[in-house]
A and B are shown apart, each in its own frame.
Chain A
Amino acid sequence: MTSKTHKNPGQIALFLFIALFLLSFLIIPVVKVFYVAFIDVNSGSLTLINFKDFFNTSLFIESFNNSFYVATMSVLLATLISLPLAYFTTRFEFKGAIIIQSLGFVPLIMPPFVGAVAMQLLFGSNGSINLLMDEYFGFTIPFMEGLNGVIFVQSLHYFPFILINLSASLNNIDRSMEESAQNLGSSGMRLFRRIVFPLAMPGYVAGASLVFIKVFDDLGTPLLLNVNNMLAPQAYLRISSIGIDDPMGYVIAVILVIFSLFAMWIASLALKGKDYSTVQKGGGGLAKRKMRPFERIVAYFIVILILLTVLSPHFGLTLLSFGTIWSYSVLPDGFTPDHYVEIFAETPEFMMNTLLYASLAATIDIILGTSIAYLVLRTKIRFRYWLDYAAMAALAVPGLVLGIGYLRTFLGASIPFGDAPLATWWVMLVIALSIRRLPYALRACTSALQQVSRSLEEAAENLGANKAKTIQRIVLPLMSGGLLAGFVTSFATAAVELSATIMLVSTESDAPLAYGIYVFMQSAAGRGPGAALGMVAVLIVGLGTYFSHRIIEKGRRERSIENNNQK
């Protein structure tokens, strides 16, 4: 087989097409923005002096340290949240495991602005919790103050990345791994620390690095909590100041991207050669142990406590969307369905646009993700890994940078068959969303393809199916679970994306939900309707996620039945 490295023209065409796509919609726009960072404002010549200024400015160094601290602490807190959820639901017979896994996903789809407002109303210094505590215990806890507030909100928001990856890893550990350790006298936390966690490490590192990068790059949360001394807000504040073109904003953006790439590189080093998927042929898989009554009470208590905390923003959002006035009080003054009536009467196009954009973007992601995964894993084209690297690098590009880059790159060109600028065409919004979410889908597609044994493909080819037919009839059906997972992640997160959107929306009729929420949240009277719109977004995406989980679970169960029969 190895001698037959013939070049398949179809594969090369696919490679070139994807390379061109990434070049035009990711690399060139980003480079156009970054260029500014290397320009001397006084002379207009290329220079590195701006970077020297960055490292000489104590505010920036402080901001860098703060961002690093917040990202690290958020990973720790997110780990504390995800570990019990992942462990209990994958290693024990746990009623409602699917619901917990789905609910654990919901925080990712917190729409911008409304989430932070809801959190302030619940956890703020004069929020419900603190008002109650002050009344009954005479003290308050500064959940939302300063860097701690950012850490709190970020870990509640991003922990699903760890939960999802860790659960998948835990599911891939063969039960004999644990049993042999028990047999040799290990149990409890020691067993977990020495055997289970190291084996789940690859999944954990993948999730944790994602959380780290997202938190490090995230702009919305620190901005809404009015924490300015972090890198992303510093970049944003400088790029968007009125009438001023401070190159430092762009310098910070470059540093953000470089540091994120660095973090990704470290993570990939840590993961190298550690493919610990230990599930043996013929199933085996996870042993779901029954819990003793006492254990069960403790476990449910912990899980419910965590779920209450992580879902509290949504709880707050619900109150906000039905509340009349909510100000300096434990609960809103009254409840009304008016906000929902208002949004359904006025803004149905936001919902339609969101569904359209997010599903288109997720579809593009799945197609690109599968293609890249296939090229990387199944062909011998040179430079094929660069597609993977480039696509993953999108993770490190802040949405604002991508948005500005699109404006700079595509304004000169016009929409096909029209005269409006290309950059303001709604299709560009879809492409920006798909580039932003491509890394999620790509990872899902890659791991799905990795799980399809080559021999299954070879069997099909041996029976007379050509490459295309094999992919269509064997590979894709077997990947379907992973593809669906990738689609859902891309779809759900694209549906609430704001940062790239806000630069690219050029007409209100083209605007998605996140933009609609933003618009509502800019006025005092818009808070209720904005929250209602946020609830609609959460419901749409949440239901989609739940049903996809059901489908994935069903598929897994069917496959495991087949396996058992084969045994």
Chain B
Amino acid sequence: MKLPFKSLLAVSVIAASMSLQAMENKLVIVTSFPKDLTKEFKSAFEKKNPGLKIEMLKKKTTAGIKYIQETASNNSSDLFWASAPDAFEVLKGDSLLAKYTSPAKGIPKNVGSYPINDPDGYYTGFAAAGYGIMWNTRYLSAKKLPVPAQWADLTDAVYHNHVGMSAPSRSGTTHLTVETLLQGNGWDKGWARWKQIAGNFKTVTARSFGVPDGVNSGSFGVGIVIDFFGLSSKGSGFPVDFVYPTTTALVPANIGVLNNAPHPQAAKAFIDFLLSDQGQSILLNKKIRRLPVNPATYANAPANFPNPFKADSTIGAAVNFDVKLSKSRYNLVNSMFDVMITYRMDDLRAATKAIQDAEAANGNKEMIAEARALVAALPITEAQAADPAFSGIFKKKRKKATDKVTGRQAEVEQQWDTMVKANYAKAIEVANKAH
């Protein structure tokens, strides 16, 4: 059977690890990127370095982090390659990344208002991506829905039960989108806006790819997705389209060398390759469609390809993203989103529907406003969220034994849930009375 081959492979791995060469002949990359992306880079890099084999370990970002954390004591991977900067922040916080700064030239400091590379040098941005709205053209025309352009459009009653998004706790880039709106509109208004949009959700997916998947197959018509999902779906022939709303954050997709990487030379060479002209051009491939971080590469881009480095570009310009603030309340925001939206989707949807119906019937304005306020009500204020003693409940990895935390996440979440559930029920009641 296959056994001899396997043991041969094992032998060759052992042989490889014993030979000390300047350039290793193997490279293990843990990545959340789809095969369409990784396979192009893999074959190009292998071609450039004959004799070197890349092992791509596909894991969801969260599973990838878990894998690297769990295997850290006996690490066998070289690079972590994924979209969300926050995932790298987690690894950096656990001291699982090694510093490396590529000598590549021609890459600006920021994309939009977000720094391309980690200021501490632990990870490197190689492509930019921003959140936007994706829609299925057949779906919209069959249901006679208008094409949305801004986040605010998605609060319109016509989109009720037609929108999908992934939970921010599932996907780092989704989190940044949530945070961008919170920072752009302010804590209270930002959450109110999110709840208005979420009231139109058909679903909150557990996988970030669940959103483009749903739009592609027509399960729902509109999705809040990261650009390359929308662009690559379109590139693959699906009847979909994508647009960047004005208030969006551009964030770099990153790569970082892992601590104690078995093949550090190959790892660094791979990062250099990503940032080279050749590597940057691969990003324009129609099944990949990510924004290069080298402005020069856009010269080869197809017509209408979004270019954030163009002088008149509006992409990612509207919000001055505060990375520090985002980091300080990261898990708290995710938890709030899950408690108020993901896990109470049915209640929120019902409340939103009741309000929309009341509005359509030209009901009592004050009562509608009251219902809206009930839905929008938050369990904690921005100041509370900023209190490290409180947000610390949501950070389980304590740095020192002396870090004092009172209360448990489950306990706090239960309190929130009780309030949110009651508010949604009350909102339905009020809205029903309004007409």
Chain A positions near chain B (C-beta within 8 angstroms): 41-42, 44, 49-50, 53-54, 56-59, 117, 120-121, 124-126, 146, 223-224, 226, 228-229, 233, 236-237, 239-248, 324-329, 346, 352-353, 355-356, 359, 404, 407-408, 411-412, 414-415, 417-421, 423-424, 426, 502-503, 505-509, 515, 518-527
Proximity string of chain B (176-220) to chain A, C-beta cutoff 8 Å, 1 when within and 0 when not: 000000000000000000000000000111110110111011110
Q: How far is the CB of A335 from chain B (nearest CB, A)?
A: 14
Closest A residue, CB atoms, query B86:
A242
A359 to B76 Cα, complex, angstroms: 27
Q: How far is the CB of B277 from chain A (nearest CB, A)?
A: 25
Give 12 CB contacts A-B under 8 Å: A57-B410, A57-B413, A58-B418, A242-B87, A244-B169, A248-B410, A356-B6, A419-B17, A421-B71, A506-B76, A523-B232, A524-B36
Closest A residue, CB atoms, query B9:
A509
Chain B positions near chain A (C-beta within 8 angstroms): 1-3, 6, 9-10, 13-14, 17, 28, 34-37, 39, 55-63, 65-67, 70-71, 73-74, 76-77, 84, 86-87, 89-90, 93, 136, 138-139, 142, 167, 169-170, 172, 175, 203-207, 209-210, 212-214, 216-219, 229, 232-233, 235-240, 287, 330-331, 334, 338-339, 342-343, 345-346, 394-397, 401, 405-406, 408-411, 413-414, 417-418, 421
Q: Is there contact, CB below 8 Å, between A243 and B90?
A: yes
Knowing A328-B136, A523-B209, the reply to whether A244 touches B396 (Cβ < 8 A) is yes
Closest A residue, CB atoms, query B65:
A242
A287 to B405 Cα, complex, angstroms: 71
Closest B residue, CB atoms, query A58:
B417
Q: Is there contact, CB below 8 Å, between A522 and B35?
A: yes
A248 to B235 Cα, complex, angstroms: 41
Q: Is there contact, CB below 8 Å, between A120 and B410?
A: no
Q: Is there contact, CB below 8 Å, between B1 and A356?
A: yes
Closest B residue, CB atoms, query A529:
B35
Q: Is there contact, CB below 8 Å, between B56 and A325?
A: no
Knowing A121-B217, A507-B55, the reply to whether A42 touches B35 (Cβ < 8 A) is no
Q: Is there contact, CB below 8 Å, between A426 and B6?
A: yes
Give the 5 A-B residue pairs with the shortest CB-CB distance, closest first: A328-B218, A523-B34, A245-B396, A53-B410, A421-B74
Q: Is there contact, CB below 8 Å, between A117 and B217?
A: yes
Q: Is there contact, CB below 8 Å, between B70 and A408?
A: yes
A233 to B210 Cα, complex, angstroms: 15
Knowing A41-B408, A49-B408, A242-B90, the reply to whether A418 touches B206 (Cβ < 8 A) is no
Q: Is there contact, CB below 8 Å, between B35 and A526?
A: yes
A228 to B207 Cα, complex, angstroms: 12
Knowing A502-B59, A524-B233, the reply to whether A237 touches B170 (Cβ < 8 A) is yes
Q: Which residues of B contact A241 (CB under 8 A)?
A: 62, 169-170, 331, 334
Q: Which residues of B contact A125 (CB under 8 A)?
A: 219
Q: Which among A237, A248, A417 is the interface contact of B169 at CB below 8 angstroms? A: A237
A325 to B217 Cα, complex, angstroms: 9
Closest A residue, CB atoms, query B201:
A226
Q: Is there contact, CB below 8 Å, between A522 and B34?
A: yes
Q: Is there contact, CB below 8 Å, between A57 and B417?
A: yes
Q: Which residues of B contact A356 (CB under 8 A)?
A: 1-3, 6
Knowing A59-B414, A243-B65, the reply to whether A418 touches B239 (Cβ < 8 A) is no
Q: How far is the CB of A364 from chain B (nearest CB, A)?
A: 14
Q: Which among B138, B209, B346, B414 is the interface contact of A56 at CB below 8 angstroms? A: B414
Q: Is there contact, CB below 8 Å, between B207 and A505?
A: no
Q: Which residues of A contact B10 (CB under 8 A)?
A: 415, 417-418
A315 to B406 Cα, complex, angstroms: 54
Q: Which residues of B contact A120 (CB under 8 A)?
A: 214, 217, 219
Q: Is there contact, CB below 8 Å, between B55 and A325?
A: no
Q: Which residues of A contact B406 (CB under 8 A)?
A: 42
Q: Is there contact, CB below 8 Å, between B237 and A325?
A: yes
Closest B residue, CB atoms, query A413:
B74
Q: Which residues of A contact B65 (CB under 8 A)?
A: 242-243
Q: Is there contact, CB below 8 Å, between B239 and A328?
A: yes
A237 to B170 Cα, complex, angstroms: 8
Q: How far is the CB of A253 from chain B (nearest CB, A)?
A: 14
A176 to B64 Cα, complex, angstroms: 60
Q: Which residues of B contact A246 (CB under 8 A)?
A: 396, 409-410
Knowing A424-B71, A508-B57, the reply to whether A328 touches B14 (Cβ < 8 A) is no
A126 to B136 Cα, complex, angstroms: 12
Q: How far is the CB of A229 from chain B (nearest CB, A)?
A: 6
Closest A residue, CB atoms, query B414:
A57
Q: Is there contact, CB below 8 Å, between A233 and B219?
A: no
A76 to B235 Cα, complex, angstroms: 44
A352 to B396 Cα, complex, angstroms: 42
Knowing A49-B408, A356-B1, A417-B14, the reply to whether A411 touches B73 (Cβ < 8 A) is yes
A503 to B136 Cα, complex, angstroms: 34
Q: Is there contact, CB below 8 Å, between A507 and B57?
A: yes
Q: How far is the CB of B69 from chain A (nearest CB, A)?
A: 9
Q: How far is the CB of A82 from chain B (nearest CB, A)?
A: 29
A412 to B339 Cα, complex, angstroms: 38
Q: Is there contact, CB below 8 Å, between B287 and A523?
A: yes
- Name the residue among A240, A346, A515 with the largest chain B CB count within 10 angstroms: A240
Q: Is there contact, CB below 8 Å, between A525 and B287?
A: yes
Q: How far is the CB of A511 from chain B (nearest CB, A)?
A: 8
Q: Is there contact, CB below 8 Å, between B237 and A54?
A: no
- Known A126-B139, A519-B34; further 11 A-B contacts with Cβ < 8 A: A41-B405, A42-B405, A124-B218, A126-B219, A224-B206, A226-B203, A242-B62, A327-B238, A522-B58, A523-B37, A525-B287
Q: Which residues of B contact A346 (CB under 8 A)?
A: 39
Closest B residue, CB atoms, query A353:
B2
Q: Is there contact, CB below 8 Å, between B62 and A245?
A: no
Q: How far is the CB of B171 from chain A (nearest CB, A)?
A: 8
Closest B residue, CB atoms, query A425:
B10
